[in-house]
Amino acid sequence: MKPPFRTILVDETIRHHFLTNRLLSHAGGVRVVYADSECLDEIIQEQTLSYGKRMLHLSSPRGELVKPCPGTRKPYLCCRYTVINQVRQCPMDCSYCILQDYLSSPVTTLLIPLDPVWEEVDRMQKQEPERFFRFGTGELGDSLALDPWTSLSSEFMQYFAGRRNCLIEFKTKSDRIENAIKNPASNAVMSWSLNPPGIILDEEKGSASLERRLQAAKRCQDAGLLLGFHFDPLCFFTGWESKYKKLVRTLFDYVRPDRIAWISLGSLRYPPSLKNVSLKRFPRTSLFYHEMIRGLDGKMRYPRPMRIRLYRSLERIIRHHAKDIFLYFCMEPPWVWKAVLGAAPDGNAHLDYLFAENLYRRFPEIEMDEPKRERYG
Amino acid sequence: MNIRTVRYEEILQDFFFRFSSPSDLTDLKASIAAGGFETPLQVIASGKRYRIIAGFRRYEAARSLSLSNIPVRVWEPDSPVELFYRVLLAQRAQRSFTLIEKARVLLILDRLGEARGKARKRFLSILDLPFQEEILESIRAAAGLEQPVQEYIERLNLSLKMAQPLLGLDSRDQITLIQLADLLRIRGVELAEMVESIRDILGRKCLSLSRLLGTEPFKQIIHHRDWTPSQKRRRIHLALEERRNPGLRQVNEEIRRHCDQLGIPLFGNITWDQTLERPGVELRMRIHSSEEVDRAAGWLSDESLRSIWKHLLDSMS
């Protein structure tokens, strides 16, 4: 498969690392530039986002690699996810993507080696031995977009396989699962962000079609991997209700509810500064023109009654297909939880506990201790 | 480098290095008329003529005074970038640059072939700009705005953040908006917010700004004879909000209607978060006596009002 890059920038210090060699051995025809980090930074700063997306930067580690998901401020609830930021930026180009505004570098960056990640995961687990950790690589980039060239999923699977009280989630909009299904770990969750085909076509440039995502999900399920689905961002558009209904029906045509670890719901939200950045790059998008309010965390979002309408509609159809599925909201206040689900977690720690409890009860193949409520805050 | 006097016609009229906007020349003209040029223009030779690097205002003053000769300091033509850098440094020592000036400097650098690498970095530090191509592109675009808009940005010294919404408008809409801003004395942040609202409405309705402002109630507000600019601004703001968030407005009106039906006693009032992000309402009453406590308690426990309370709270979710 041809890599989605025109140029690969390689930091001299990791020139001979096995991950660099592996990636470059699959990158025939791509221009490779070796230089020191200062020189590469200058090249990177000169790129626009659209051009930067066609570059890959192999860099030595910088910044925090493993950290709690920044989530958002109270009163919105967040799930205490832990993010692994090994890849930053994404070769896909979604009009609503926060990374356009959030990251200063326009170039997709892969940080090599992985040892600092393993050390940090170890340290975190030792610090809280009785907590179940959910780690994920899909916060600052797509977990599998580069996988055919990096095989990072295999490295992560290998590291996490058999590791107690934790799991690793690969969040993607691609269908690049070949490496992941070779040696599936019982505590790995392959998850997809889903939207109706029209939104995928118009707003998620460079991502896999819905059909390809769901075919990939089915193959992961058949390989014994757990699945996750994120209906995020949910958007309002003409005919949204019937199109989301059809989307959920299609999802359950491909996968079995009992292999789904969780489903999340989250509506379109973004910092106000994203709008101009996105409209400049995607002048034809209409996502930002809907009724929006500035939320209590400063992010723009649909007014609460509209979000509740959106969630209720999705919840009803999901429950129709999967009655006992673990459903959660991303960045919603307790009163939205209550309005849609009839109950809300007491706080972020409680939500974290509910995840652990759900996994312990439904998936005995995950090696984990029985979670105790009192040990989650 | 040497200093000499050249004829007015020997100066090239392309003003390649000009980045500042024309300004009032009265004092400068008076000074030149009284004592001649204190400082010569800085130029480089270009063929048999000269190109100004610094001294555009002095040149204009000389022209309007009909002077035939102008003193110039002639620099070697092989390092215009270096000269331009020094001119900017000297100017920066005296004042900070406006957004429009920064945009023009970036375009000059592009034309000089200084668009890349370390050489540009030092220019950016004089201009207080980050080395980020996305931001630089937006700043460059400001130089393409219509002249009255550029003047408005300079007059109010708008930042990129405040001017950004203007960058997405076509020429006609830019002019319409600036005319309105001048008429109603709309300033910086307020204008940016207004443009944001307008863009949301236009994006949804596929209208042009000029057409939107030509419809009611905007037309009536703008041309109303008795209202002050501040009253007009407030009314336009409200009208824009109503158009921008019709669903929210409808819910808020419904809540207001329910509140009216409750007939709150004791000059009490009900407030709520009009974005509806926070649920519930806040009830305030000022109670001075035990009779008023009884009255408040009676009102709160009035069974006949219970369904109104229920509708009020239901309408919020």
Q: What tens digit of pLDDT does each residue of A105-129 get?
A: 899 999 999 999 999 999 999 999 9
Among B132, B164, B248, select the one facing A303 at the smallest CB separation: B248
- For residue A189, what is the domain's CATH number? 3.80.30.30
My answer on whether B150 and B238 are in the same domain is yes
Q: Test B276 with A47 for CB contact under 8 angstroms.
A: no
- Residues B202-237 have pLDDT tens digits of 887 777 888 888 888 999 999 999 999 999 999 999
My answer on whether B171 and B218 are in the same domain is yes
Q: Indicate whether A47 belongs to any domain.
A: no
Residues of chain A positioned with their CB less than 8 A from the CB of B246:
291
Among A49, A289, A308, select the one facing B200 at the smallest CB separation: A289
- Residues B101-143 have pLDDT tens digits of 999 999 999 888 865 666 678 889 899 998 888 888 889 999 9
Q: Test B251 with A45 for CB contact under 8 angstroms.
A: no
If you count residue pairs, one on A and one on B, with CB atoms under 8 Å apart, how many are there? 76
First to last CA, chain B: 76
Q: Which chain B residues in 220-249 lie under 8 Å from chain A, judged by CB atoms? A: 244-248
Residue A280 has a pLDDT of 86
Give percent of chain A with pLDDT exceeding 70: 100
Among A286, A303, A333, select the one facing B203 at the smallest CB separation: A286
Give percent of chain B with pLDDT exceeding 90: 40
Among B78, B94, B117, the domain boundary falls at B78
Closest CA in chain A for residue B165: A276
| Mean pLDDT across A275-299 | 92
Q: Which positions ≥6 away from B290 have C-beta within 8 Å?
A: none
3-state DSSP assignment of residue B310: helix
State the pairing for strand pair B41-46/B69-75: parallel
Q: Test B134 with A106 for CB contact under 8 angstroms.
A: yes
CA distances from A187 to A132, A165, A227, A239, A325 (A): 11, 9, 11, 38, 18
* A213/chain B closest Cα distance in angstroms: 31
Instruction: Out of B148-162, B203-217, B252-266, B280-294, pick the least confident.
Output: B203-217
* B121/chain A closest Cα distance in angstroms: 9
CA-closest candidate to residue A100, choices A108, B128, A230? A108
My answer on whether B224 and B256 are in the same domain is no
Q: Indicate whether A23 belongs to any domain.
A: no
Interface probe for A, chosen from B118, B131, B206, B277 (most Cβ of A below 10 Å), is B277
pLDDT band at A263 (very low <50, low <70, confident <90, very high): very high
Q: How many domains does chain A have?
A: 1
Q: Indicate whether B96 belongs to any domain.
A: no
Q: Indicate whether B301 belongs to any domain.
A: yes
Residues of chain B positioned with their CB less than 8 A from the CB of A292:
200, 245
Closest CA in chain B for residue A291: B245
Which range of A201-205, B219-223, B293-297 scores highest in mean pLDDT? It is A201-205
Q: Test A277 with B134 for CB contact under 8 angstroms.
A: yes
Q: Does B160 touch chain A (CB under 8 A)?
A: no
* CA quadruple A165, A171, A176, A181: dihedral, nearest 10: 20
My answer on whether B255 and B233 are in the same domain is no
My answer on whether B280 and B218 are in the same domain is no
Query: C-alpha angle A171/A175/A181, rounded to 5°?
Result: 80
pLDDT band at B1 (very low <50, low <70, confident <90, very high): low
The answer to whether ipTM exceeds 0.90 is: no
CA-closest candidate to residue B150, choices B100, B188, B189, B102? B100
Q: Does B116 touch chain A (CB under 8 A)?
A: yes
Among B52, B78, B104, the domain boundary falls at B78
My answer on whether B237 and B291 are in the same domain is no
Among A45, A277, A286, select the one facing B131 at the smallest CB separation: A45
Q: What is the DSSP letter of B21?
A: P
Question: Higher-confidence residue: B77 or A135?
Answer: A135
Rounded to 5, what percent of chain B is helix, strand, coil? 60, 10, 30
pLDDT band at B188 (very low <50, low <70, confident <90, very high): confident
Tokens of A267: 């509506």
Q: What residue numbers bound the domain in which B197 lies? A: 145-246
Q: Indicate whether A58 belongs to any domain.
A: no
Task: Specify the residue for token string 């109670």.
Answer: B287
Residues of chain B positioned with their CB less than 8 A from the CB of A280:
138, 168
Q: Indicate whether B89 belongs to any domain.
A: no
My answer on whether B196 and B222 are in the same domain is yes
Q: How many domains does chain B have?
A: 3
Residues of chain A positioned with their CB less than 8 A from the CB of B160:
none
Q: Indicate whether B208 belongs to any domain.
A: yes
Q: Indicate whether B280 belongs to any domain.
A: yes
My answer on whether B20 and B53 are in the same domain is yes
Among B133, B165, B278, select the one facing A48 at the smallest CB separation: B133
- For residue B73, what is the domain's CATH number? 3.90.1530.10
H/E stretch holding B306 reads helix B303-315
Confirm whether pTM is higher than 0.90: no
Among A46, A276, A308, select the one facing B133 at the smallest CB separation: A46
B252 with B242: CB under 8 angstroms?
A: no
Q: Indicate whether B88 belongs to any domain.
A: no
Q: Indicate whether A21 belongs to any domain.
A: no
Residue B122 has a pLDDT of 86
Task: Report how far residue A325's alpha carbon sits from residue A341's, in angstroms, rounded to the nearest whole number.
Answer: 12
Among B201, B217, B246, the domain boundary falls at B246
* B94/chain A closest Cα distance in angstroms: 29
My answer on whether B151 and B239 are in the same domain is yes
Q: Indicate whether A76 belongs to any domain.
A: yes
In this structure, which amino acid lies at residue A284?
R
Among B196, B278, B317, select the one facing A308 at the smallest CB separation: B317
Q: Indicate whether A318 belongs to any domain.
A: yes
Mean pLDDT computed over every residue of chain A = 95
| Mean pLDDT across B260-271 | 88
Residues of chain A positioned with their CB less than 8 A from the CB of B165:
276
| Mean pLDDT across A160-174 | 96
Residues of chain A positioned with their CB less than 8 A from the CB of B279:
304, 335
Q: Burial-class residue B312 by CB neighbours within 10 Å (0-12, 13-18, 19+).
A: buried
- Residues A307-345 have pLDDT tens digits of 999 999 999 999 999 999 999 999 999 999 999 999 999
* A190/chain B closest Cα distance in angstroms: 33
Q: What residue numbers bound the domain in which A336 lies? A: 63-375
Mean pLDDT computed over every residue of chain B = 89
